Amino acid sequence: MRLKFLGGAGEVGRLAVFIRTASNGVLLDYGVSFDEHDRPVFPLHVRPKDLTATFLSHAHLDHSGALPSLYVSVKTPLYATPLTMELSDLMYTDAIKLSGYYLPYTQEEVRETMSSAIPLTYGEPVEIGRDAVLTVYNAGHIPGSAMGVLEIEGYTVVFTGDFNTTDTNLLRGADVYNLPRSPDVVIMEATYASTDHPPREKLEREFVQSVKEVLEQGGSVLIPSFALGRAQEILLTLVKHGVEGYPIYVDGLARQINQIVGRYPHLLRDPALYRKALDISIEVPSTYVRKGVMDEPSIIITPAGMLKGGAALYYFKRIAANRKNGIFLPSFQAPNTPGFEILSKGYAVVDGTTVRVEARLEWFDFSAHAGRKEIENFVKRFPPTTKIIFVHTDPLSASSLIHRLAQTGYDNIYLPTAPGDEVYLSTS
């Protein structure tokens, strides 16, 4: 068996892994990254005719964004959960709207991709080729996200996609207990290989406290959030901790995603809380309504999570100058984004103008990924003989963890560092 890392090798983003066996060619995720000019960066090419199946772990573009480029003429069966497919459809449409010029596909290839989908249910094995069976389990990362267990021609492969073993308000932690005990290989994300996340309860209390303080002083709170996953988690956190009496607005793509996710209550940790959150929150349907949102103290949850665009920028320009207001960033901020700039310098240049932040500014670590400790515990679920492969991570942060694990007997860990790196496995 040959594993080829087409993307996500030594970097966070554009994950793509190609598995070649005697009679199968399986692609695990096929995502894009975005460069500093917001242009998509693709994984290495794979010939659609070499594929017998594709598996999509979840609907974030860094895992899904390049898939439609493989559906121009060949219709490879695409395995994913129904929620992942529904969300991907929306994400593709949005990506085409924002950067269609740079994408090698159009709505037509998106339609082909959607019509190639074969729905997966957590815990139910599905035959996906010759002597190949795929079973998926909740990955705890975003709604619909799945870890895959692939039994293929005598090998057992675990692929985590993005995963989180900690319960959040939105989802239960990943179903790691269902994974095989000693697979041949585990391909896992290690985004936070060198960072521990704070305890969830403490983080939530501090976040809600900050939000309340701003509102009680008559200010408004802007919470720029990724549309898929983070926006829902933030809304649930506010509702769970009883931030009531102030309007909670939801704007941008998060509105549609809130509704789609609400149609899959059985996947959520607390469907009643989610229902309540949807009932309480107010969707901003138009620019006209948007103008009136900050007339009174209010909370605004909106993409983009790093203030790179979307409705968040509209609010940012209006909220930043007033010390009474708050801007709370609950997501990772990549360098060269306005979110990163304001945290490091106190100002950002948006649309050619410098906007200085006088409002209260804070960052909160609401991660949806396993942290250092969880990654370490996850590796140790498997025997040291299992080959572990760290993808979707920065080599610098992964290497110290690899070093520490090696000292405890886990010295069978591989870190691909460039697209095109390969691993060969043979049955013993």
Interface residues toward Zn ion, by CB under 5 A: 60, 62, 162
Q: Supply the minimum distance, in Å, between the C-beta of residue 368 and Zn ion.
A: 7
Residue 253: CB minimum distance to Zn ion, A:
15
| Residue among 191 and 220 whose Cβ is closer to Zn ion | 191
Alpha helices in 244-293 (DSSP H): 254-262, 271-280, 287-290
Contact assessment for residue 124 and residue 135, using Cβ atoms and an 8 Å cutoff: yes
> Strand order in 299-302's β-sheet?
282-283, 248-250, 299-302, 221-224, 326-329, 360-363
Our CB check for Zn ion shows the closer of 1 and 187 to be: 187
Q: Please identify, using beta-carbon distances, which residue of 219 and 224 lies nearer to Zn ion.
A: 224
Identify the CA nearest to 37 among candidates 89, 105, 98.
98
State in angstroms the smallest separation of the CB of 212 from Zn ion.
30
Query: Which of residues 132 and 234 has its CB atom nearest to Zn ion in the complex?
Result: 234
The total of other beta-carbon atoms located within 10 Å of residue 360's CB is 18
Q: Angle 107-115/82-99 helices, nearest 10 degrees?
A: 170
Residue with Cβ nearer Zn ion (132 or 176): 176
Q: Which two tokens stand for residue 418?
A: 């460039």
Nearer to Zn ion, 21 or 160 (CB): 160
Q: Which of 60/372 has CB closer to Zn ion?
A: 60
CB-based burial label for 296 (10 Å; 0-12, 13-18, 19+): exposed
Q: How far apart (Å, rounded) are the C-alpha atoms in residues 161 and 426?
A: 24
CB of 372 to Zn ion, least distance (A): 17
We find the least distance from the C-beta atom of residue 191 to Zn ion, in angstroms, to be 7
Q: State the nearest-atom distance from the C-beta of 13 to Zn ion, in Å.
A: 7
What's the min distance (Å) between Cβ of 139 and Zn ion? 9
Contacts of residue 58, Cβ cutoff 8 Å, sequence gap at least 6: 64, 84, 139, 141, 142, 144, 145, 146, 161, 162
Q: Is 222 helix (H, G, I), strand (E, B) or coil?
A: strand
By beta-carbon proximity to Zn ion, the closer residue of 180 and 395 is 395
Phi, psi dihedral angles at 135 (to 5 degrees): -125, 135
**Min dist. Cβ of residue 60 to Zn ion (A):** 4
Structure tokens at 27: 């692609």
C-alpha distance across the termini of the chain, in Å: 12
